[in-house]
Structure 1
Amino acid sequence: MKLDVALIHPPSVYDFRKSPSYASMISEVIPSMYVFDMMPYGFLTLATYLEKNGLNVAIFNLAAKMLKDRSFDVEKYIKRIEADLFGIDLHWAVHAQGAIEIARIIKEIHPESKVVLGGLSSTYFRYEVIRYPFIDAILTGDSAELPLLRYIEEGPERTPNIIWKDGGKIRENPLSWIPESLDEFGIDHEFLLRNVKKTRDLAISSPFASFDEAPIAGVITMKGCPFNCITCGGSRFAYERAYMRRKLAIKSPEAIADEVEGIARISKMPIFFVGDLRIGGMGRVERVSKLLKELDLENELIFEFFTPPSKEVLGYIRRTSHSVYLQISPESPFEDIRRAFGRPYTNQSLEKMVSNSESLGFERLDLYFMVGLPFQRREQAISVADYFRKLREISKRLDSFVSPLAPFVDPGSRAYMDPGAFGYIITLRDFEDYRRALLSEHWMKSLNYETRWMNRREIAEASLDAYERLLAERYLQGIVDEEAYELAMERIKLDKLVLDRVERGIPIDDLKDRIDELARRSDARVKKGLSLYPTSGLAERIRNPILRALITLVR
């Protein structure tokens, strides 16, 4: 099939299957595995928008396919894709190595096709990235729907938000198209089903590798952020200075409800709402609650909050579905650390949220903590388990997760631009530094920062100890079953062994088979009780029996 546009999601490292490296801890609090196989949701808005404008589009998640099939021949498969334009995401810097290598491979195989990158990191590093000879253009900023269509139909000269090659010169048009509303750029979630029909392969069509075992859908409710968490490349500071977004783009309650209805029409999979619904006002929360309740959903719903909400807000959220989950990221049990990071609220307000979630009957409240924060020392980092134990006395509906701030302090964030002001030391600056760092034998070596209070080795060790202690507490509380607990402990033990060897300069080639074997078993996080979200198979969630049969056929 000839495509107008092939959207390609690369692994963070190509080819991770041949690399004796260990990166387990860096993806503990996201659905992706250690190669960051979750494609950006922007692919779905792009695909929906381009299809509406008459283009033939398909998405290929190479990272997910490579995880599911260790013998998958990437280059052979790319030869089969015929497309006028290949679009590759380089949204976060964790894909710096994989995105560039996949771009190189595509250009070698399809020299007449355009190779275009997009995303926040490709925007930030655009003057370095555009110099690779196999990249034709970069679409800059946080939105690429109209620019990509304009580039295809009219060429780069009339396209906003683009940097491109014109013969031997590099030219750039201003980052001027910054939509203030998301209503025009909703997602047709049936595209995922059409995509499976095009590729005849569920793994390469999936949003992430474990999608068929634990599917989840998402609704983007906003772009931009009013908060200034100091290491975040999606903070207000970064959006204003690096990506020219000076006003939030808010999706209306009606557009949110329409998108949810589209998901619910084809499936009963859980739905995650990206962005705090209170941004936009209390009226927005009430209206979204009313519209979702009227849909009478069978789907579990998951809402995130950036600060603890009032009981009134939680009451509205609780009415949206039969089963509702909550998430918040306190980052640290210590208020001074949390405040320094950019989360200015007290433990008292957090504990009130825990209590209210219990009394209102939410399915679960998840708390996310982090290691590598300002003012944070080892003893504070590993105390997450103690605070979790205390909070479980308030509510047994509580769960908690911890990970290092990894692998990078985001380029464009406040701590990246002025590290000394926040107690950080940034060790990587050039784009090529990031490409090389991602090939490190252990994830600790890929960190682009240290702090005034912990060096990289101490951050890695504190992260592993904090994870181990919290895991043990969750096991004792009956949240994690024995099989999942033993697997996770095995991963921690291997992580510490690799770290010690790498620090002492001892080769780890003899550990590659063990690393690979544990990597293959790591989807047990989903199957054996370590899932971040509600789980059940994709086929069980699909409503249409014909589509269920198709899903089963193309696995």
Structure 2
Amino acid sequence: MTNDYDVVLIHPPSFHDFRRKPVIPGPVDRTVPIYTFLFIMFPIGMMSIASFLDNRGVKVKIFNLAEKILTEKSFKCEDILRKLKSKIYAIGLHWSVHTNGAVEIAKMCKMLHPDSIVILGGLTATCFAEELVGNLPFVDGVIRGEAELPLYTLSRNLEKYDKTHAFKKTPSLTFRTPEGEIFSTNMCDVTNTLDELDFTRFDLVEPLERTITSPVTGAKLWNIPFCRGCLLNCATCGGSRYSYRKLLNREYPAFRSPRRIFEDFITLDELGIKSIFLFQDPRMAGEKYVDELVKTFRGAKWTNIKNVGIELFWPASKTYLEKLRSSDLAENIGLSISPESGNDNVRIAHGRHYFTEDVIKTVDNCIDFGIPIGVFF
């Protein structure tokens, strides 16, 4: 990657120098073992940002630094980042486990490319925007919330204005003024549909092979969102309804239509993907959405897609399970539910308002329907 770019989106590892310093991973990586404790899977929003920019003429690339570090033992961050030329280095700090990696890579980018703009973005960066800008002199700014439009605007503003004016004319941006003050522009409006975004632009990612390949089975896998946002307020979730309202200016989830999800499946099937995880619970969009989803996929036949995973944010009725069983989403459909605790009081305090007997009933019904289900605590 020696090309010059307008924007490079960098997905950092959780720890950038784990080969040189001892690291004792916490328990979180056990929930996603195929992505290792470096968390090599980048947030799906990076792909929608990159495709949004590319469609508007911005020369952009997602660089999966986490995968590069994992798969190449002799790899040195400094060497590749020195060759990676860009006007803007946008480093993901979505999940908090990436804090060390994101901060260290941001520092490295500014050291190697002092005249370029270094910004952070993602849920964690949004929550701590002022702290990051105020304490890290090598970070020029933080894009708060949904970044498609702000990052596009920033890239164009930098072509027309000096740095300070470009920043002030960019929505959802927190930065330092020349006088050293922390300044935040107004949040931009959020999209009310995910249909305008693209989540299958593999051509914009480098490297990608290990991230989309299960080290256990060798099968290709990918993730597609039903929506952005949530209706629930689980106490420890950074993606709760409260968090989206407080941090991302989003009052209600934006859904992806069943038609667009079907088009995603067509693309992914052509790309050789075998397993697709559809994250977020489609029932949040209502019964009509679920019925439309089943109708849209009726009669679908895939060459490569065999497995689809779907989340349950609350226990499922027999009617819903029957709809999934009779659908043609894929040959195999599996479900997952996270009650958080086996204790009803703890679960309800957490924000999951259902009882253990409801979970057991859902599991029993899944067994009757022949639908695999995973229960996570």
Q: TM-score, normalised by structure 2?
A: 0.89
- For the 8 Å contact 2:189–2:249, the answer to whether it is kept is no
> Cα offset for 1:212?
9.3
Q: What amino acid sits opposite 1:122 in the alignment?
A: A
Distance 1:335 1:23 in 2: 30
The equivalent residue for 1:389 is none
- For residues 39-69 of structure 1, the C-alpha deviation after alignment (integer angstroms, 9 at most, x for no partner) is 1111110111111111222111111221222
Distance 2:51 2:299 in 1: 26
- For the 8 Å contact 1:301–1:325, the answer to whether it is kept is yes
Distance 2:80 2:255 in 1: 39
Match runs of 1:479-518 below 5 Å: none
Q: What amino acid sits opposite 2:117 in the alignment?
A: K
The equivalent residue for 2:36 is 33
Cα 1:95/1:194, change in 2 over 3 Å: closer
The equivalent residue for 2:331 is 322
Distance 2:68 2:219 in 1: 16
Distance 2:249 2:273 in 1: 38
How much identity, in percent, do the aligned residues show?
32
Distance 2:108 2:175 in 1: 19
Cα 1:29/1:135, change in 2 over 3 Å: same
> Cα offset for 1:158?
2.4
> Cα offset for 1:186?
2.6
2:374 to 366, 371, 375: 366
The equivalent residue for 1:11 is 13
- For the 8 Å contact 1:67–1:209, the answer to whether it is kept is no
**SS of residue matched to 2:346:** helix
The equivalent residue for 2:163 is none
The equivalent residue for 1:504 is none
Q: What amino acid sits opposite 1:51 in the alignment?
A: D
1:176 to 174, 179, 188: 188
The answer to whether structure 1 residue 88 and structure 2 residue 91 are counterparts is yes
- For the 8 Å contact 2:294–2:323, the answer to whether it is kept is yes
Distance 1:147 1:317 in 2: 38
Distance 2:131 2:373 in 1: 42
The equivalent residue for 2:137 is 133
- For residues 190-235 of structure 1, the C-alpha deviation after alignment (integer angstroms, 9 at most, x for no partner) is x314545xx6x845xx468959945321111112211111111111
The answer to whether structure 1 residue 45 and structure 2 residue 48 are counterparts is yes
The equivalent residue for 1:481 is none
The answer to whether structure 1 residue 233 and structure 2 residue 238 are counterparts is yes
2:82 to 79, 82, 85: 79
**SS of residue matched to 2:174:** strand
**SS of residue matched to 2:193:** coil
- For the 8 Å contact 2:194–2:256, the answer to whether it is kept is yes
Cα 1:223/1:278, change in 2 over 3 Å: same
Match runs of 1:252-401 below 5 Å: 252-297=257-302, 298-299=304-305, 300-318=307-325, 319=327, 320-362=329-371, 364-369=372-377
The equivalent residue for 1:501 is none
- For the 8 Å contact 1:137–1:163, the answer to whether it is kept is yes
- For the 8 Å contact 1:27–1:34, the answer to whether it is kept is yes
The answer to whether structure 1 residue 192 and structure 2 residue 202 are counterparts is yes
> Cα offset for 1:102?
0.3
Cα 1:53/1:11, change in 2 over 3 Å: same
**SS of residue matched to 1:349:** helix
Q: What amino acid sits opposite 1:250 in the alignment?
A: F
> Cα offset for 1:156?
2.4
The equivalent residue for 1:61 is 64
**SS of residue matched to 2:270:** helix
**Higher RCO (CA < 8 A, seq sep 6+):** 1
The equivalent residue for 1:447 is none
Q: What amino acid sits opposite 1:358 in the alignment?
A: I
- For the 8 Å contact 2:8–2:62, the answer to whether it is kept is yes
- For residues 310-335 of structure 1, the C-alpha deviation after alignment (integer angstroms, 9 at most, x for no partner) is 11111222222211111111122222
Distance 1:75 1:211 in 2: 31
> Cα offset for 1:179?
1.7
Cα 1:168/1:117, change in 2 over 3 Å: same
- For the 8 Å contact 1:159–1:173, the answer to whether it is kept is yes
Cα 1:233/1:208, change in 2 over 3 Å: farther
**SS of residue matched to 2:119:** strand
The equivalent residue for 1:453 is none
- For residues 372-424 of structure 1, the C-alpha deviation after alignment (integer angstroms, 9 at most, x for no partner) is xxxxxxxxxxxxxxxxxxxxxxxxxxxxxxxxxxxxxxxxxxxxxxxxxxxxx
Cα 1:287/1:221, change in 2 over 3 Å: same
Unmatched segments (≥5 aa) in structure 1: 370-555
Q: What amino acid sits opposite 1:304 in the alignment?
A: E
Cα 1:129/1:208, change in 2 over 3 Å: farther
Q: TM-score, normalised by structure 1?
A: 0.62
**SS of residue matched to 2:349:** helix
The equivalent residue for 1:21 is 23
**SS of residue matched to 1:135:** coil
The equivalent residue for 2:109 is 106
Q: What amino acid sits opposite 1:331 in the alignment?
A: E
Q: What amino acid sits opposite 1:111 in the alignment?
A: P
Cα 1:209/1:83, change in 2 over 3 Å: farther
RMSD: 2.1
> Cα offset for 1:106?
0.7
Distance 1:127 1:17 in 2: 31
Distance 1:326 1:163 in 2: 39
Unmatched segments (≥5 aa) in structure 2: 158-165
The equivalent residue for 1:164 is 175
- For residues 125-152 of structure 1, the C-alpha deviation after alignment (integer angstroms, 9 at most, x for no partner) is 11111131111121101x1111110110
Compare CA radii of gyration and give the structure with the larger one.
1
- For the 8 Å contact 2:64–2:205, the answer to whether it is kept is no
Match runs of 1:537-548 below 5 Å: none
Distance 2:132 2:324 in 1: 43
Cα 1:112/1:12, change in 2 over 3 Å: same
Aligned length: 360
Distance 1:212 1:136 in 2: 42
